[in-house]
Amino acid sequence: MITIKPCTIADIDALRAISIETFTETFEAENDPTHLAAYLERAYNVPQLESELANPDSQFFFAMLDGEVAGYLKVNAKDAQTEVMGEDAFELERIYVRRAFQGSGVGKALYDQAIRCANELDKREIWLGVWEHNHNALAFYRKHGFVQTGAHTFYMGDDAQVDLIMAKPLRP
């Protein structure tokens, strides 16, 4: 059974480890190792993660399966969103599932948690940015009703890449 557990500052080492592991698994094959290493150091260093965990408008969750951290989620509201989308929007910033647990329903469980969080805050729309070449993630989000509404630049180290902005209405 998959359980969802909120992350706290006490979880920082586990959060950092799964963040680096899953990001690397997802993107190392298609990116320069130097750019990947620079991104990992910037995005997942302890002070950065401490700051994100301390932000009251961001939440992290672990998906637990068979006693192991199988994946994680980060969501943002208000000014914690990585793009200015307004008060009615809610960002699903990260869903990552460890390779060994892909296909086990962990991604869907984390997605469902993101929707619950957005609904608890009475948001009208959920949105995310996804790399244009991450075909598995694009298929997952399209299957769940997301449509492309824009694009923005994402930097993998010094390498400028395109993230597609995708959104889904939660209510009228």
Catalytic positions are 141
Phi, psi of 132 (to 5 degrees): -60, -20
Q: Which of 20, 125, 18, 25 is nearest to 61 (CA)?
A: 18
Burial of 61 (0-12, 13-18, 19+ CB in 10 A): buried
Q: Rounded to 5 degrees, what are φ and ψ at 67? A: 80, 5
Q: Which conformational region is residue 67 in: left (phi greater than 0), alpha (psi within -120 to 50 degrees), or beta? A: left
Residue 160's beta-bridge partner residues?
155
